[in-house]
Structure 1
Amino acid sequence: MMTLDKKYHDDLVKALRLHEISGRRVGEVLAEVEAHVTETGEDPVDAFGRPRDYAKQVAAQLDPATGKRSTGETVAISIASGTLAMFGTSFLGDGLALDQPTIDYSLRDVVAQPTLLVMIIIGTMLAFRAYTARSHNKLLGAGVAVAAVLALGSQIICNKFLDDVTPVLSPPSWLVLTLGVVFLVALAVLLTQAIRRNRVRYPAAK
């Protein structure tokens, strides 16, 4: 009896996830593929195609109201996660310098990090769209490259032209440390909820 190999299974799960397909529907698709392979002994690539291609077919046929998260939700979670992770780790590291009563942030500090975050988010979303496009989209791929160049260029410009000496913000170190902890806790809660919501759920046996 032939069973679905782990590599195809894992690759299909990843491909379906990239198309924002719900955990319930992912479980149903996996169950269908596994049942077909077990019953027929056919190679899953021959029967369904490569995981990436089959995931696109599933996404194209899916009713967004029942099996797919909204793009807006996905974008919001991605932006929130990236923001909480970047500023949480940064504030936590800065705030641990408790021997200093305040933490000084220069104009470069205030501008460079948010700019980098924006470029990373844009590049990530473009890469996501390029991967999940039904046909190869060179324009999206080029957009990823442009976002990477802009991210690097923005940091070079900030380092060269923005003041890194004069403080523009000087919050107390305890406040910075607290913000870092709060942001990282919020990140953990957000990721935990996302994992639970997207956990693969196989259809119940009748």
Structure 2
Amino acid sequence: MTKKKEHRYTLEEEIAPHIDPRWSEEFILELRLTGVSGKQIGAALAEADSHCAESGESAEEAFGAPAVYARSLDLPVQSEDRSLSRGPLPTVVKLTGMLMLVWAVSSFVQDQPASIRLGGMLSLVLLAGLVVFTMRSAEAVLRLAVQRTGLVILANVLVVATVVLLSWFLRQELFYVPSVLLMTVGAAALVAGTLWEFVMLRNRPAASGDLLISPLEGHEAAARRGAALGWAEYAQVFLLPAATGVIVLLLILVG
């Protein structure tokens, strides 16, 4: 196993050292997608690992296909808050702010009012709808992403192509907005959406409460994973604003 693969399966090998990490990965993924808590997943995986260590069997021999075995355990599922205010809505606000800024910057540099075009508005509606659909159907989307990665990549390419085509061909001007006003509203929406997500992340139950932890592991392992997960989640919150900043800077330099 290469170093890259070893790093990929670090978590699986820590919790279940006697099980093929690829089996563990699929087992974990199946239970995560169905909403089982990290603590319960860790306990179930540790129990399977203990059986394999004692019997000398592989997980495949003892339990069969990981996804099928995971579903057969019928573990309780966590209740989730799927309301728009705690799910896709902050992302939609950020996305709207980003598009407003992108629309306004070029006009601002040229000291002209920003033109709101039909293609741009349809693109915004399309992207916002996709964000809502993806977050409201997270389990199905994630399962598809894992099982049909090529199809998901193709879908993303088609979405980008659709946005480009809409913006290019549907150039009818709907109305004009002062570029400074549009930039201000866009920046405010981007900041508001980012702060909204940040506050949600800060106020939700501690990430360590749903970490994948084996009953045999100590607090040190939980703290280490919690810190890594926290950094990753906060980075995700600020990813879109950072990308927007880069795009705006490039537009200013080009304009």
Q: Indicate the TM-score class for this superposition, using the shorter chain for normalisation.
A: 0.5 to 0.7
Which of 126, 138, 144 is residue 115 of structure 1 equivalent to?
126
Mean Cα deviation higher: 115-124 or 47-56 = 115-124
Paired residue secondary structure (1:20): coil
- Are the aligned partners of 2:30 and 2:70 in contact in 1 as well (CA < 8 Å)? yes
- Are the aligned partners of 1:62 and 1:68 in contact in 2 as well (CA < 8 Å)? no
CA distance in 1, matches of 2:169, 2:60: 52
Which TM-score applies when normalising by structure 2? Answer: 0.52
Residue of structure 2 equivalent to 1:32: 47
Paired residue secondary structure (2:172): coil
Instruction: Report the CA distance shift for 1:92/1:152 in structure 2 as closer, same or farther (over 3 A).
Output: closer
Instruction: Report the CA distance shift for 1:30/1:104 in structure 2 as closer, same or farther (over 3 A).
Output: farther
Residue of structure 1 equivalent to 2:227: none
Cα drift, residue 199 of structure 1: 1.4
Q: Which runs of 5+ in 1 are unaligned?
A: 133-143
Residue of structure 2 equivalent to 1:62: 75
Cα drift, residue 201 of structure 1: 2.9
Instruction: Report the CA distance shift for 1:174/1:86 in structure 2 as closer, same or farther (over 3 A).
Output: closer
Q: How does 1:35-114 map to 2 (within 5 A)?
A: 35-58=50-73, 61-63=74-76, 67-70=77-80, 73=82, 78-80=87-89, 82-83=91-92, 86-87=95-96, 89-90=98-99, 104=114, 106-108=116-118, 109-114=120-125
Cα drift, residue 69 of structure 1: 2.8
Residue of structure 1 equivalent to 2:192: 182
Which TM-score applies when normalising by structure 1? Answer: 0.62
Instruction: Report the CA distance shift for 1:115/1:33 in structure 2 as closer, same or farther (over 3 A).
Output: same
After superposition, give the CA deviation of every residue in 1:82-125 in whole Å (9 maximum; x if it has no partner): 4356346546666877x658983615333421322213543675
CA RMSD of aligned residues (A): 4.5
- Are the aligned partners of 2:52 and 2:58 in contact in 1 as well (CA < 8 Å)? yes
Instruction: Report the CA distance shift for 1:10/1:152 in structure 2 as closer, same or farther (over 3 A).
Output: same
CA distance in 2, matches of 1:13, 1:152: 32
Aligned length: 188
Q: Name the structure, 1 or 2, with higher relative contact order (CA <8 Å, separation 6+).
A: 1
CA distance in 2, matches of 1:202, 1:102: 60
- Are the aligned partners of 2:52 and 2:59 in contact in 1 as well (CA < 8 Å)? yes
